[in-house]
Amino acid sequence: MSLELGLRQAAAPSPFRRLLSRSPSAVFGALVVGGILLVAIVAVFWTPYGPLTVSTGKELLPPSGAHLMGTDEYGRDILSRLMSGTDLTLLSSVGAVLIAGLVGVPAGLLAASRRGVVGEAIMRLADLLYSFPALLAAITLVAAFGASTVTATVAIGVASIPSFARVTRSAALPILASDYVQAARAYGRSPVAILRRHVLPNVAPFIIVQVSLLLSVTVLAVAALSYLGLGTPPPTATWGGMLENAQSYLYQDPLLAVWPGLAIALSVLGFNALGDGLRDLLDPTLRGRA
């Protein structure tokens, strides 16, 4: 995937140890994200039990050899539901980032290369969208179209467009002003060819960092929406939905809430650390800047 590509590019000249000392946060993030991806891939083919399989008489069991994380109030295996929830979380988050990137990156490039009315209009539109909180946008869309995985994904994706547009534009501006782009222009290359051959490859690292940082935001948003009952409807296993469910049993079985909470927090932490670390590797002067 593009994320791994970025890491390998940055890491190529130095062995693992030097990478670890240069950016422990990138290594930590890559490990966590790698682990999550692994779980997601495994969950496509195998989970210990069916995530929707109800078994009477096995309700709210504590963790044991048979059920590593115990069971919920319908006797469903928590580990299986958590694994299957990983798939849905990633699918929704990656979908949202894809929507945001596919619109935001071209919009940012366009705004950078055509600095007149078009560029200004794009950035004002981005400002408008940016000032409108993502969760509020999602709630509005759900109110109109009803709660579903697709609504949640599209809502989060649309709300994330401006951050891509802004990052792309500000990364592309200095490149467009550089000598080699001037040269290419003088040589008679078309603007589209310049964008593709010179600007995009140089902007790509910034976009990769943004993808990772944004994934931490979208994972959180997906979980929040399903927690509020505005995402994928039950009985499908979602991390947020499991958390919401667990809240009714806090007095009997507090562990029930701990597992999905841990999954959400760990994923957000992983993507965030990976993005931060990659940014540090990309530009050491930005180290520590939030």
Partner 1 sequence: MEAVDASTSAASPLLPAEDSPDRRDLAFLRFVARRLGTTVLTLFGASVLVFAVLNILPGSPAQVILGTQATPASVRELTIKLGLNQPLPLQYVHWIGGLLSLHLGNSYISGQPIAPELGAALAVTGPLVALGLLFGLAIAVPTGILSALRHRRASGTWLAAATQVGIAIPNFVLGILLIIVVAVDWRLLPASGFIPWSQSVGGALRSLVLPAISLGLVEGAILSRYVRTAILGVMRADYLRTARAKGLPAGRALVRHGVRNASVPVLTVLGLELSGLIIGAVVIEAVFTLPGVGSLLLSSVANRDLITVQDIVMLVATVVVVTNLLVDLLYRIVDPRLEVGG
Q: Check whether the bond before 48 is cis (ω within 30° of 0).
A: no
Residue with tokens 């597992």: 259
**Residues 110 and 93 sit within 8 Å (Cβ to Cβ):** no
Least separation in angstroms between residue 121's CB and partner 1 is: 12
**Residues 152 and 92 sit within 8 Å (Cβ to Cβ):** yes
- Please identify, using beta-carbon distances, which residue of 126 and 203 lies nearer to partner 1: 126
Strands, E assignment, the chain: none
Least separation in angstroms between residue 184's CB and partner 1 is: 31
Mask of contacts with partner 1, 23-62, x by CB under 8 A? Answer: --x-------------------------------------
190: contact with partner 1 by CB under 8 A: no
Least separation in angstroms between residue 202's CB and partner 1 is: 26
Please pick, from the candidates 45, 116, 179, 289, the single residue that binds partner 1 as defined by CB under 8 A.
Answer: 289
Residue 248: Cβ within 10 Å count: 12
Stretch that binds partner 1, among 41-49, 84-92, 142-150, 191-199 (CB under 8 A): 142-150
Residues 229-248 that bind partner 1 (CB under 8 A): 229-230, 243, 246-247
Residues 104-133 that bind partner 1 (CB under 8 A): 127-128, 131-133
Stretch that binds partner 1, among 9-17, 65-73, 163-171, 251-259 (CB under 8 A): 251-259
Here the tokens at position 99 are 């929507």
Distance (Å) of CA 154 to CA 169, 206, 253? 23, 23, 35
Please pick, from the candidates 40, 69, 96, 273, the single residue that binds partner 1 as defined by CB under 8 A.
Answer: 273
Kindly give the interhelix angle for 24-45 and 78-113, rounded to the nearest 10 degrees: 120
Residue with tokens 């960092």: 209
Closest residue by Cα to residue 78 from 217, 241, 214: 241
Please pick, from the candidates 272, 275, 278, 280, the single residue that binds partner 1 as defined by CB under 8 A.
Answer: 272
216: contact with partner 1 by CB under 8 A: yes
Least separation in angstroms between residue 263's CB and partner 1 is: 10
261: contact with partner 1 by CB under 8 A: yes
Closest residue by Cα to residue 153 from 138, 164, 133: 138
Here the tokens at position 40 are 């997601």
Please pick, from the candidates 220, 237, 242, 281, the single residue that binds partner 1 as defined by CB under 8 A.
Answer: 220
Stretch that binds partner 1, among 57-65, 83-91, 161-169, 259-267 (CB under 8 A): 259-267
Residue with tokens 């994904």: 153
Least separation in angstroms between residue 276's CB and partner 1 is: 8
257: contact with partner 1 by CB under 8 A: yes
Quote the CA–CA distance of 91 and 286 in Å, as a whole number: 31
Please pick, from the candidates 42, 143, 150, 183, the single residue that binds partner 1 as defined by CB under 8 A.
Answer: 143
DSSP state of 61: P
**Residues 86 and 66 sit within 8 Å (Cβ to Cβ):** no
Q: How many residues sit in the footprint of partner 1 (CB under 8 A)?
A: 43
